[in-house]
Amino acid sequence: MSELTTIARPYAKAAFELAVEQGTIESWNDMLFFAGHVARDKQVSSALSGLSTATEQAELFIKVCAEQLNEQGQNLVKVMAENGRLVALSAVAELFANLKADYDKEIEVDVISATPLAASQQETLVAALEKRFARKVKLNCSEDATVVGGLIIKAGDAVIDGSLRGKLNRLATTLQS
């Protein structure tokens, strides 16, 4: 995946800069989200690999996406096909979404708890996380009985393990050293 990310980064950055310049970030995000799903489809990828020229690949991809791609989106697909990079289109969509979240100062946070969090607990947690990360927080809550007690919070690369299991593991490590 890291190779695809490396390939996709310049395309995502160029598309994002164009979207910011034109004030069309949301429409570009929607368009790339759709195109990324189309690119991941097994039938589409096998059909694209069966075509010999970049022009044929681009035309097929644009035909599948139909009105979901505007003229600039179609141009992106054509350029990526010419460079043999259509396989990286889903990574472009993901990187674009990350750039959009940074631009909007938003962060998606996964919270894992042993039991469902009440609405008031979620509100308190969102307020604390917004203060800590200085960003608007979108909370994704899930339950996992193995957590036992407390929470595991994942925000980007940051992991806050406040679970009982995590605390016991840290205590065991401290006692062993």
Average pLDDT of every residue of the chain: 89
Q: Are residues 38 and 57 in the same domain?
A: yes
Domain residues for 62?
Answer: 2-102
Q: Are residues 94 and 149 in the same domain?
A: no
Q: Are residues 23 and 82 in the same domain?
A: yes
Q: What percent of the chain has pLDDT over 90?
A: 51
- Residue 7 is part of a domain; what is its CATH number? 1.10.520.20
> Edge to edge, what strands does the sheet with 106-113 contain?
136-143, 106-113, 151-155, 158-161
Q: What is the pLDDT of residue 100?
A: 92
Output phi, psi for 136, to 5 deg: -75, 130
Q: Are residues 87 and 152 in the same domain?
A: no
Residue 26, number of CB atoms within 10 A of its CB:
11
Q: Are residues 110 and 61 in the same domain?
A: no
Q: What is the pLDDT of residue 87?
A: 85
Q: Are residues 110 and 167 in the same domain?
A: yes
Q: What is the pLDDT of residue 4?
A: 83
Q: Indicate the number of domains in the chain.
A: 2
pTM: 0.70
| Residue 127 pLDDT grade (very low, low, confident, very high; cuts 50, 70, 90) | very high
| Residue 123 pLDDT grade (very low, low, confident, very high; cuts 50, 70, 90) | very high
**pLDDT single digits (tens) 99-117:** 998 898 888 899 999 899 9
Beta strand 158-161 with 136-143 is unpaired
> Is-contact 157 172, C-beta < 8 A?
no
DSSP codes of every residue in 70-119 = -HHHHHHHHHHHHTT-GGGHHHHHHHHHHHHHHHTTEEEEEEEESSPPPH
Spatial distance between the Cα atoms of 8 and 21, rounded to a whole number of angstroms? 20
Query: How far lies 19's CA from each of 35, 38, 51, 78, in Å?
Result: 16, 21, 31, 18
pLDDT(137) > 70: yes
Reduced to 3 states (helix: H, G, I; strand: E, B; else coil), residue 140 is strand
| Residue 86 pLDDT grade (very low, low, confident, very high; cuts 50, 70, 90) | confident
**pLDDT single digits (tens) 1-33:** 568 889 999 999 999 999 999 999 999 999 999
Q: What is the pLDDT of residue 157?
A: 82
pLDDT(58) > 90: no
Q: At what angle do helices 71-82 and 2-22 cross, to 10 degrees?
A: 150
Q: What is the pLDDT of residue 125?
A: 93
Q: What is the pLDDT of residue 14?
A: 93
pLDDT(152) > 80: yes
